[in-house]
Chain A
Amino acid sequence: MKIRLQLGALAASLGLMFSAAAQADIKIGFSGVMSGPQASLGQDQLDGFMLGLELLGGKLGGQPAQVIVEDDQLKPDVGVQILQKFLEREKVDAVVGLGFSNVLMAQSRRIKDTGIPALSTNAGPAPLAGKMCMPNLFVMAWQNDAASEAMGQYAQNKGYKRAALITSNYQAGRDKLAGFKRFFKGEIVSEAYTQLGQLDYSAEISNIQKSNPDVIFAFYPGGAGVNFVRQMKQVGLMGKIPFLSDSMIDANTLGAMKNDAIGSIYGMHWGKVLDNAKNKAFVEAYQKRFKREPTEYAANAFDAANLLDAAVKKLNGNVSDRKAFVQAIKDAGSEFESVRGDFKFDKNNMPIVDYHALEVVSEGGDVGIKHLETVFKGHRDAYVGDCSL
């Protein structure tokens, strides 16, 4: 699947009339999951990025920009092939998106070797934050543990003493629970790891009830999260015991959970309720353009477009030197206007941003999001110490 989007082509040709030395367009390669059950996450990132570009008049730093889109199918090997194509055939100036942690890990070697500026809008696996950190990979999303750490801190702030934790039995699940435990100092009364792809959680939910926790923390992304939340609700636990979560609640899953999710709390660096001018403009433009609510994935990619814009501006449109481009992106990190408010890159190129506790509330017959508290100001991840940059 390949879509060429020549946004602002008209603007570009008009621009050429006035510019004496016509510079080549800036070429951006976008790679993400565009098919299969997780396709909505890839689509959100693409839409967020394209909206950012659109609002900039189809230009990055005044230069007409061209975006080439490829579908990694959530397969690491396909992700690597796409990267190769972007670099050798399309000769892109930067890559954006880069898929889930497994795909990004597979792509990381080539990203490092070629020095291509790379902006991940979906994943920030621990190795890339720590020992394998590299100067030219910028994570616009999150270090994977951060939202769980925020939930652990939130549970601590609220004075909860007995936590029940549950997730799927795989690396990301174990990382998330470890992140929660890094900041929660109370007792863990039950800790369950279910099989990936499990459908029914009634056995685990019954066990959680028996362990008598005063807070529950769960990590189930995508459809599994919808299952879990519904089953919690039907047994009457939702709203009875505080329910904290990571990666379960976003505009996509909320559409399937609706009222069942009311009362659940999640940790995230962004929400449509964040009160800053850039975010308001983003949310409004996104709703108008795509007729649906934006997600954090869209916000990450929208920020990526604005970051690139600021970086290209610094270079006066000349992105031919990769090293200079990378440096400009790093510097622009603390300068561009993010929908998340304050933003800067840590030395491992992970974002230093605020993390919030957000709650799903009933809002005029539908569900809305309420900001509970800002749990972390300028949160740094746990792995930055291992990064030798």
Chain B
Amino acid sequence: MDSSLFLSQLLNGVQLGVLLFLLSSGLTLIFGIMNFINLAHGSLYMVGAFIGAAAFNASGSFVFAVMAGMLASAAVGLLLEHGIARPLYRYDHLYQVLATFGLMMFFNELAIVIFGSRPYYAGIPDYLSGAVTVFGSPYPVYRILIIVVGILVAVGAWYLIQKTRFGMLIRAGASNSNMVSVLGVNIDLLKKLLFMLGAALAGLAGALAGPILSVQSGMGEPVLILALVVIVVGGIGSIRGALVAAMIIAIIDTLGRAYMPQLLAPFMVPTSANAVGPALASMLIYILMALVLAFKPDGILAPRKR
């Protein structure tokens, strides 16, 4: 096996993992701590992508574009929390799924009304558009930036959760949210902040993904499915779990797609290896999820419940 190709495929996996982590970290916080299933999380990601792209096209500043995407998603998140999620906290998951599924459709049509159904242009500045040689093959600078941002967010989230009072309350809330409110903490405010934080992370993921992926209505759903797999594998409510699971899933997915057809080649004719390989590769992450559910139903790094 070609080692430089393997290393660059590994890098591809890490980069996808970072995007998945950004998206699923918000989802896992909201799901784990507030026990609220938010299918509209993919829509928040879409908001970040659209607003980020529009802000970049208008201003030409990439930093401003990413900030705008995050803030817009956080603002939409705040509205969602206040208007729709809050009354639904005390209902069971089915109601939440129905309501947020409806929101998802609403946002998709809204995107068409505002931006049209054509894919929307999301540019990157010249200084990020080149490629550098990594492990002997060219690798896009922009993807390196995504990896760096992902690492910063992971470190920031670790600091926020392990070292600050807010983080302590979040951890306490993930373990037993009733007890936290009994102790006199304003759990409503905590939930609101948490929802906004999750939305901002989704918006960041969207704004960063925009220039690689196609920015269009409905772009949130395929990544939402992957994010759900990530939080189930990682353990609902655990940022650390989301990070580890996102990396495992992305690397398995990427390496599977890269090597599965070759691995199957000795056993079958090339045409069927080419057809079966990718199909099998795309199943790997779901097989992993099934295994995790069978042997560690709470996820690999689930927060302890008391």
Q: Which residues of A contact B (CB under 8 A)?
A: 35-40, 43, 169, 191-195, 197-200, 202-204, 206-207, 209-210, 222-227, 230-231, 233-236, 252-253, 255-258
Q: Which of B16, B112, B223, B274 has the most CB of A within 10 A?
A: B274
Contact across chains for B212 and A209 when beta carbons are under 8 A apart: no
Cβ B117 vs Cβ A37 within 8 A? yes
Nearest CB of chain B from residue A254's CB, rounded to whole Å: 9
User: Which among B168-176, B183-191, B213-221, B234-242 touches the partner chain?
Assistant: B213-221
> How far is the CB of A207 from the nearest CB of chain B, in Å?
6
12 pairs of residues in contact across A and B, judged by CB atoms under 8 Å? A38-B117, A193-B277, A200-B213, A204-B257, A223-B216, A227-B214, A230-B211, A230-B213, A235-B131, A252-B119, A253-B118, A256-B215
Partner of B117, one of A43, A207, A210, A226: A43
Known: A37-B117, A223-B119. A202 touches B15 (CB 8 A): yes
**Assuming A204-B257, A230-B212, is B140 touching A40 (CB within 8 A)?**
no
Query: Nearest-CB distance from B108 to chain A (Å)?
Result: 8
Query: Which listed residue, B15, B216, B254, B255, touches A37 by the CB 8 Å rule?
Result: B216
Q: Are B255 and A40 in contact (CB under 8 A)?
A: no
Contact A203 B213 (CB under 8 A): no
* Alpha-carbon distance between A85 and B2 when the two chains are bound, in angstroms: 60
**A38-B117, A203-B13 given. 8 additional CB < 8 A pairs?**
A39-B117, A193-B274, A195-B278, A202-B15, A203-B254, A223-B219, A235-B131, A256-B215
| Distance of A236 Cα from B138 Cα, bound (Å) | 7
Q: Is B222 an interface residue, CB under 8 A from the partner? A: yes
In the complex with contacts A199-B213, A234-B142, A236-B138, A36-B9 CB distance below 8 A: no
Instruction: From the candidates B122, B212, B274, B282, name the one contacting A234 in the complex (CB within 8 A).
Output: B212
Residues of B with C-beta under 8 A to A35: 109, 112
By secondary structure, the A interface counts as helix
Bound form: Cα–Cα A222–B219 in Å: 12
Q: What range describes how many residues of B lie at the interface?
A: 35 or more
- Give the docked Cα–Cα distance between A257 and B139 (Å): 20
A226-B211 Cα distance, complex, nearest whole Å: 10
Q: Which single member of A38, A40, A198, A202 contacts B12 (CB below 8 Å)? A: A202
- On chain B, the residues within 8 Å of A204 by CB distance are 257-258
Q: A195-B279, A202-B15, A203-B255 are in contact. Are A210 and B212 (CB under 8 A)?
A: no
Instruction: Please provide the 9 A-B residue pairs with the shortest distance between their CB atoms, ordered closest to farther.
Output: A223-B214, A256-B119, A234-B140, A226-B214, A202-B12, A39-B117, A236-B131, A203-B258, A195-B282
Inter-subunit contact A199/B211 (CB<8 Å): no
The one of B12, B119, B121, B130 that contacts A222, using a Cβ cutoff of 8 Å: B119
CB of B264, distance to nearest CB on chain A (Å) = 13
Partner of B2, one of A43, A200, A210, A252: A210
Q: Quick check: A253 and B278 within 8 Å, CB to CB?
A: no
Does A202 lie within 8 Å of B254, measured CB to CB? yes
Kindly list chain A residues whose C-beta atoms are within 8 Å of the C-beta of B16.
200, 202
Residues of A within 8 A of B142 (CB): 234
Judge if B129 is at the interface, Cβ distance under 8 Å: yes
CA A266 to CA B55, docked complex, whole Å: 31
* Assembly CA distance A225 to B279 (angstroms): 20
What is the CB-to-nearest-CB distance from B105 to chain A, in angstroms, rounded to a whole number?
10
* Cα(A39)–Cα(B213), bound, Å: 19
Whole-angstrom distance between the alpha carbons of A192 and B256 in the complex? 13
Q: Does B5 contact A (CB under 8 A)?
A: yes
Answer whether residue B137 sits at the interface, using C-beta atoms and an 8 A cutoff: yes
| B139 closest partner in A (C-beta) | A235
Which B residues, 115 to 170, have Cβ-Cβ distances below 8 Å to chain A?
A: 116-123, 129-131, 137-140, 142-143
Across the two chains, which residue of chain A brings its CB closest to B135? Answer: A206
- Contact assessment for B112 and A39 in the assembled complex, using a CB-CB cutoff below 8 Å: yes
- Cβ contacts under 8 Å, B274 to chain A: 191-193
